[in-house]
Amino acid sequence: MKDWSTLALGAILSLAAPAWAIQASEVGRLDWHLPLIGPPQLSSPVDPPLHRFHHTSTSAAPNASKKSLLLTYTVKNVLAALEPSTGDVVWRRRYPSNHPNARHLSCSASSVIVLSGASGSDLASLNGSTGAVEWSLSGAEGREGQALCWNDGSTTDILWLTKDGVRRIDGITGGVIWARNNGAESKGSLRLVQIDAERFGVLDISPQDEQPALSLQLIDARQGSLVGQPSSAKSHVQASNALTVKSRAVDGPTSTLVWVESGRLLSLKLGDKLDKPSRLAASTSASAQVAQVRDVGLSHLGIFVAHYEDGTAAVITSVGEDWSVDPRVPLCGLRRPPWGSSYRPPLVLLIPPSESLPRDGGAPANFPRLPQLGSFQIYSLAATEASPAGMLTGHTFPFDQDKFGSLITFAFEASPPNAYTVATRSYISTSSGVTQAWEGSHLVWHKEESLSTVDSPALYWDVAETVQHDSSSSLLADSSLPSRLRRHVNAISRIFDQGVQSKPTAPASNGRQLVFVASSAFRTIFALDLAQQGRIVWRACIDGRAGSWDPFQRLRMLDLDDGRPRVSITLIKDAETASVSLVELDALTGTILDVDSSTPAVSAAFSQVMDKQQHVSDKITLDVSGTSIAGVSRSQFGIKTSIWTAHLPEREQVLAVAIPRDGVVASTGRILGDRSTLLKYLNPNMIAVATFSPATRSSSVLLMNSESGALLHKIGPIADVDDESNLSLALQDNWLVLTYRVAGEAARASKVVSVELYTSGDDSLGMLGVNLERIQALTRTFVSTQALEIKSFTRTKLGITTYNALFANSLGQIVAVPRRFLDPRRTLHKPTKQDQEELLLPYEALLPADPRWTLSHRREVEGLNKIESFAGRLESESLVLASGLDLFGTRVSPSRSFDVLSPTFNKAQLVITITALSLGLAVTRSMVKGRQVHQKWYFL
């Protein structure tokens, strides 16, 4: 009985032990893709909203069914259509960085007109349902372009104003119906306005120092010919606070210019002659002045909103030749302006009075005196039996301003389902990059769009190896004893299930947390669990009072005596006094623990060198400024002093800098086939600097010591570098990879240069200040047709597994090229026996495009600009995280899963064998003991 109890106790202890399974089904399958669009961009109050609901249809029939989509333009230059009920991306289009504001119009239900380019010089029609380009045109740059939908009853065309003139574009085919060149170039702001059913005008709002301030030239919309002479009027109009509103008179639609001047709201009817501006007397009062006018998407119906300095708003509607001004509505009862110098006034949701009109508009959102609530105030112009003149209603919703920041952009659609209520669907975004959709007071979906701006030096660690088990932590909630027992029991129950071997398994939640912590450009810090499909473990929003935010500022891990690590970040508190603040967060929960703002920066130039910092370590920072590179000694709280400066030859400039990450080196040498050894050149302070000379159109790579600035080795010059190519390089241990685009190639081929560094003498490894001739650089150049761009290398726990080089190609895919194919020692002849012992491949200039190397498979990681690798749970496992506009994570095994049991491994036979051996051991142990006793009695 004692033997059986011992075996039972051992079995129970083995289940309770914190051992991690090595079966393939329990290692975890990591392959996830998070498509993002970026936080919404702020729009001008006098321009049509950048975020609105669009009712699209695949048919032009009047009774065709329509689908509601949410159109939004973001800070990542992405125009996207979202499904309002789920937040899923229906389609998206990313524009170049020189497209700061792509305005979009809805001239028809089936298409979206997009005005983009550096100055509105590009015009395109997109399919409203799919986002496909139906037609596109390009014009001259140099003036802010304008577009105006023109419906003459039979067709809907587009009037397009650019620097080279005005054109009427067919809304279906994109063909130019007529074009008219501009006359003398104006220094003011030009706008297209509809005058009546047959004429439109080009309104010129001149700068304040010129007279007259307003000028209007009428043009016949049918033929493009001038109508009459230009008319002008004198007034102090600012284009940034002037709004064009359509009104419906007896003889047809007309346009009126409305603007704010010295706290007064003025209007001017646009027609054959510009009269003297008139004041909308009913819209103002002696107690408050007008602060701003805003287009809430209903200016084409003659409706706009006026905001006052005391925090109230008024809805102003065009009624024939007059204006109807509704009573001013207090915003949540705040009698004082709730804004500062960066105030963007809240909006009022408007519902058009006609059932046939679209229900898109802006919305007010403000915070009442309860800090955890937000509110929507809705002013409806829809006439019902209960409220023939419209109604004022609204609702509140839970909103934590400290956690999510301030509300900044809004989009609404609404309808009155009965005579007493208004049903709303709203879309909001905050200053921390959060986007949410609400149906009334019910939250429909929530997204963290600021993850698209994650581009900071990040922290990564295995929680189970960093801290003790703590059931109160959100990171270790799955690491408790009951969770581990359930995991082991479930694993045993699957042993005899033969069907599991052939079925794909979901990611296993085995309690091991692999945490990636990084900051975004919107004052937020995220912790993502790379082992659980990129799940957000926690997020922290840093208050603006802590200091100015720098998304590239380095995060640090602080080791404390209590066993709970902290994440810290240093912010600039006051640039003039050169003081900073240190923010500390609990690394397990994201709770802000301390904000210390009493530590002064020791350098008055602290704020000046923050822009182009590249962190080599916690003590050394690189400052790159075009033709020079400097090493700066830095403390925990700021920059101390420059310790060295390296100046490049004349007209050379720095293109890229590669800084190796700290890692484990398993082997300090390489054994060759003839049993000789090449010693790796391993210098923890080595950095690589890529330079370019426009005069010779060549590039060089300088290997430098980051502590002393000494030149260790020079590679190059490389003569065929395209000066417009995105040259990139990466360095790890003794391996350097450089990628660039070939100059003058019609196919735009790219080259990959692989360099391995070895010591050519008997010097010790890692010596500082090594002479140039002591480093032996082995180089091979390969050609790729995929436009590869090196990003990083794979990393493992112990460094035993071979490396893979991680590239991004032109299709937004992640390509992991094995080191064997980039080995600089690939033979130029037929491999000998010694070469075969080293597993060397024959050299081929063309790098194959093996689809098995594509880690992202068919997924396209939009805007891919950074790929990082982290050690996984096992030595054979390396985690890869790609960021850009999207986030993508996966797991790769460069040397295959040599430490993981095969899925076809016979687990049942293993258990039966172990059980039989245990039973045999228990039976034979008593037999052996009896024989030993018998021998002692009878064989003395």
State whether the Cα torsion 339-550-726-879 is positive or negative.
negative
**523 or 465: which leads in pLDDT:** 523
Average pLDDT over the chain reads 75
Query: Any alpha helices (H) in 113-172, and if so which ranges?
Result: none
| pLDDT, tens digit (0-9, with 9 covering 90-100), for 459-472 | 776 665 554 333 33
Instruction: Decide: 676 and 749 in contact? Cβ < 8 Å.
Output: no
Half-sphere exposure (Cβ direction) of 286: Cα atoms closer than 13 Å: 0
Cis peptide before 330 (omega within 30 of 0): no
Burial bucket for residue 922 (CB in 10 Å: 0-12, 13-18, 19+): middle
For the chain, the residue count is 940
Count other Cβ atoms within 10 Å, centred on residue 248: 13
Look-up of token digits 């103002």 = 284
Instruction: Give the mean pLDDT of 29-49.
Output: 82
Name the residue among 341, 511, 523, 547 with its Cα closest to residue 432. 523
What confidence score (pLDDT) does residue 817 get? 93
Min mean pLDDT across 273-287, 868-882, 925-939 is at: 273-287
Cα dist from 814 to 30, 93, 727, 847, 853, whole Å: 15, 20, 17, 16, 8
What confidence score (pLDDT) does residue 601 get? 42
Min mean pLDDT across 25-29, 164-168, 638-642, 773-777 is at: 25-29
- The CA distance from 618 to 637, in Å, is 11
What confidence score (pLDDT) does residue 445 get? 93
Min mean pLDDT across 126-130, 336-340, 667-671, 684-688 is at: 336-340
Assess whether pLDDT exceeds 70 at residue 208: no
Three-state SS annotation for 361-409: ECCCEECCCCCCEEEEEEEECCCCCCCCCCEEEEEEEECCHHHHCCEEE
Instruction: Give the mean pLDDT of 721-749.
Output: 80
**322 or 210: which leads in pLDDT:** 322
| pLDDT, tens digit (0-9, with 9 covering 90-100), for 551-568 | 556 677 766 555 677 887
Render the burial of 531-569: b for 16+ CB within 10 Å, e for the rest. bbbbeebbbbbbeeebbbbbbebbbbeeeeeeebbbbbb
Min mean pLDDT across 180-189, 333-342, 583-592 is at: 333-342
Instruction: Decide: 275 and 267 in contact? Cβ < 8 Å.
Output: no
Quickly count helices (H) and strands (E) in the chain: 7, 63
Min mean pLDDT across 480-489, 749-758, 807-816 is at: 480-489
In order, the DSSP letters of 547-570 are -B--TTSPPEEE--TTS--EEEEE
What confidence score (pLDDT) does residue 19 get? 35
Instruction: Give the mean pLDDT of 772-787.
Output: 83
Min mean pLDDT across 265-269, 385-389, 849-853 is at: 385-389
Task: Take residue 528 and report the two structure tokens written for it.
Answer: 């993502």
Count other Cβ atoms within 10 Å, centred on residue 711: 13
Tell me the pLDDT band of 604, cut-offs 50, 70 and 90. very low
Instruction: Decide: 346 and 365 in contact? Cβ < 8 Å.
Output: yes
Instruction: Give the mean pLDDT of 867-891.
Output: 86
DSSP bridge partners of 714 = 702
Three-state SS annotation for 719-755: CCECCCCCCEEEEECCEEEEEEEECCCCCCCEEEEEE
Sheet holding 252-261, edge to edge: 242-249, 252-261, 264-270, 278-279
- The CA distance from 763 to 754, in Å, is 24
Assess whether pLDDT exceeds 80 at residue 868: yes
What confidence score (pLDDT) does residue 89 get? 92
Instruction: Decide: 114 and 127 in contact? Cβ < 8 Å.
Output: no
Name the residue among 112, 219, 227 with its Cα closest to residue 159. 219
Instruction: Decide: 807 and 869 in contact? Cβ < 8 Å.
Output: no
Cβ-proximal residues to 467 (8 Å cutoff; 6+ apart), any chain:
473, 476, 563, 564, 565, 588
Assess whether pLDDT exceeds 50 at residue 769: no
| pLDDT, tens digit (0-9, with 9 covering 90-100), for 179-188 | 888 766 667 7
Instruction: Give the mean pLDDT of 517-521.
Output: 84
Name the residue among 682, 691, 775, 796 with its Cα closest to residue 735. 682
Instruction: Give the mean pLDDT of 78-100.
Output: 88
Cα dist from 191 to 244, 255, 622, whole Å: 9, 12, 48
Instruction: Give the mean pLDDT of 699-727.
Output: 82
Assess whether pLDDT exceeds 70 at residue 899: yes
**801 or 44: which leads in pLDDT:** 801
In order, the DSSP letters of 296-348 are -S-GGGTEEEEEETTSEEEEEEEETTEEEEPPPEESTT--S----TT------
Assess whether pLDDT exceeds 50 at residue 631: yes
Task: Take residue 390 and report the two structure tokens written for it.
Answer: 């419209």
